[in-house]
Amino acid sequence: MIKLLVIAIARILRNMGAGMIESVWRLGAGARLFFLTIFYSGQSFRRFHLIMREIYFTGVLSLLIIIVSAFFVGMVLALQGYNTLQKYGSSEAIGVLVALSLVRELGPVVTALLFAGRAGTAITAEIGLMKTTEQLSAMEMMAVSPIARVVAPRFWAGVISMPILAALFSMVGILGGYLVAVPLIGVDQGAFWSQMQANVDFRLDIVDGLIKSLVFGVACTMIALFEGFDAPPTAEGVSRATTRTVVISSLTVLGLDFVLTSFMLAV
């Protein structure tokens, strides 16, 4: 009886240990891929059209979903904010509320979540399938580094696209909030913009938001690349890697957001 219990506990401990070793190994492999990517990015910058192509796929094709969701997020923010603010007779502060929540938080975070779902999954699936069909091995046979040819351009495309998408998200969201607050609800137009301008700081709000989106861009793209690169070369492996990309990217973005915000607000 006791022997059985010991065996069961040992199995649980073994599983935990294996999981721990596996996650540390993956973290190390991810970091290694990251440094290799940085190391090889000189080569990909020399062939900039590769990066341009990837910016087209990750950035330009994400425009529609980013703009439409930003518009709705801004409109909902204005509606909800007005509902509460008017109780305190300060419905003119709606502009500040919409702008600050978009520029500081929702712009970078929601963009990163959408980016992980729209572009991150595509990157993982593409690289995973390349690995499955042995295209990556074929490149290595031709003395072409897959990291320089496949990984680095996608990495830099993601890092460049994210801040642009986040800035667009914030701006379109504020326009959406404006449309609801001013023509629909009837908040004074001058108060809407002037209160916003008085309370949104360029350095402390807008630039910090952009820094956030840059960090999220690095994290999301790197996770997507690593999951694709690390996927078992089977149909099931690629599908699992794609799912993991979304889950891990989203959790990482939310966690990083807390860390970054606590640093930025502390200063």
Total number of residues binding another protein (CB under 8 A)? 30
Which stretch of DSSP H or E encloses residue 182?
none
Minimal distance, residue 124 CB to another protein, in Å: 22
- CA-angle at 258, arms to 253 and 263, nearest 5°: 120
Is residue 68 near another protein by the rule CB under 8 A? no
Is residue 174 near another protein by the rule CB under 8 A? yes
Which residue from 10, 13, 60, 247 is in contact with another protein, where contact means CB under 8 A?
Answer: 60
Q: Give the largest Cα separation in the chain, rounded.
A: 79
Distance of CA 81 to CAs 74, 76, 90, Å?
10, 8, 10
Site string for another protein, 95-124 (x = CB under 8 A): ----x---x---------------------
**DSSP notation for 143-180:** T--HIIIIIHHHHHHHHHHHHHHHHHHHHHHHHHHHHI
Distance of CA 88 to the CA centre of its chain: 36
Is residue 164 near another protein by the rule CB under 8 A? yes
Judged by beta carbon, residue 30 or residue 153, the one nearer another protein is 153
Distance of CA 234 to CAs 22, 33, 38, 117, 238, Å?
20, 21, 28, 21, 6
Is residue 47 near another protein by the rule CB under 8 A? no
Length of the chain counted residue by residue: 267
Minimal distance, residue 96 CB to another protein, in Å: 10
Minimal distance, residue 146 CB to another protein, in Å: 22
Instruction: Give the separation between CA 240 and CA 219, rounded to whole angstroms.
Output: 19
Alpha helices in 47-89 (DSSP H): 48-58, 63-85
Enter the tokens of residue 24.
């540390």
Is residue 171 near another protein by the rule CB under 8 A? yes
Is residue 202 near another protein by the rule CB under 8 A? yes
Minimal distance, residue 55 CB to another protein, in Å: 5
Judged by beta carbon, residue 131 or residue 212, the one nearer another protein is 212
Instruction: Give the separation between CA 148 and CA 171, rounded to whole angstroms.
Output: 34
Is residue 168 near another protein by the rule CB under 8 A? yes
Options 26-34, 37-45, 56-64, 142-150: segment touching another protein (CB under 8 A): 56-64
Binding site for another protein (CB under 8 A): 49, 52-53, 55-56, 59-60, 63, 99, 103, 161, 163-165, 167-168, 170-172, 174, 193, 196-198, 200-202, 205-206, 210
